[in-house]
């Protein structure tokens, strides 16, 4: 996630003038200019692995969107937040906690979260066809 490497093969993620390639669940109805400001735990992909991911990734089987982002930053973590108790700390729900939130010290994190901007939705099939000699 930090180095923008493909989440499948760990090679360089695909990038062009429109930005770095990501696949995410299709939530176009969530806000008017979606996917702008999308916070994702999904690292980017290279084109060959993106073709495989849409066939095999359980998160993408019910609908996915390929997009490119020209700017992004790691801004949060996803994990289980803990709360202080009278004798022991007790776990809360899994959630995304931004780095500037004072609760960050109470999160057992397992994924980095990247905020995407400068987003363009792309046709993955067209991207794959253009890359095939």
DSSP assignment of 56-107 = H-TTTTT-EEEEEEEEEEEEEEEEEEEE--SSS-EEEEEEEEETTSGGGGGE
CA 130 to chain CA centroid, Å, is: 24
Name residue 59's beta-bridge partners: none
Q: Are 78 and 113 in contact (CB under 8 A)?
A: yes
pLDDT at position 4: 95
Low-confidence ranges of the chain (pLDDT < 70): none
For 22, other C-beta atoms within 10 Å of its C-beta total 27
Question: Per-domain residue ranges for the chain?
Answer: 15-131
Tell me which residue of 90, 89, 58, 94 sits closest to 78, measured CA to CA.
Answer: 94
pLDDT at position 92: 85
pLDDT at position 114: 96
pLDDT at position 113: 97
pLDDT at position 80: 94
**What tokens were used for 8?**
């499948």
DSSP 8-class letter at 12: B
The beta-carbon contacts of 97-101 under 8 Å, at least 24 apart in sequence, are: 99/75
Instruction: Give the global pTM.
Output: 0.88
For 41, residues 6+ apart whose C-beta sits below 8 A from its C-beta are: 78, 111, 112, 113, 114
Q: Are 96 and 113 in contact (CB under 8 A)?
A: yes
Q: Which position has the token pair 């960050």?
A: 104
């Amino acid at each position: 996630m930090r180095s923008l490497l493909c989440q499948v093969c760990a090679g360089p993620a695909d990038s062009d003038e429109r930005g770095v390639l990501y696949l995410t669940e299709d939530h176009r109805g969530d806000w008017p200019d979606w996917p702008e400001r999308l916070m994702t735990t999904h690292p980017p992909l290279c084109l060959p692995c993106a073709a495989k991911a849409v066939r095999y990734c359980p998160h993408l089987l019910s609908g996915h969107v390929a997009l490119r982002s020209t700017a992004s930053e790691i801004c949060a973590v996803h994990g289980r937040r803990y709360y202080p108790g009278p004798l022991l700390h007790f776990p809360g729900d899994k959630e995304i906690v931004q780095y500037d939130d004072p609760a960050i010290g109470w999160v057992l994190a397992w994924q980095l979260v990247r905020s995407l901007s400068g987003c363009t939705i792309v046709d993955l099939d067209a991207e794959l066809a253009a890359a095939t000699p």
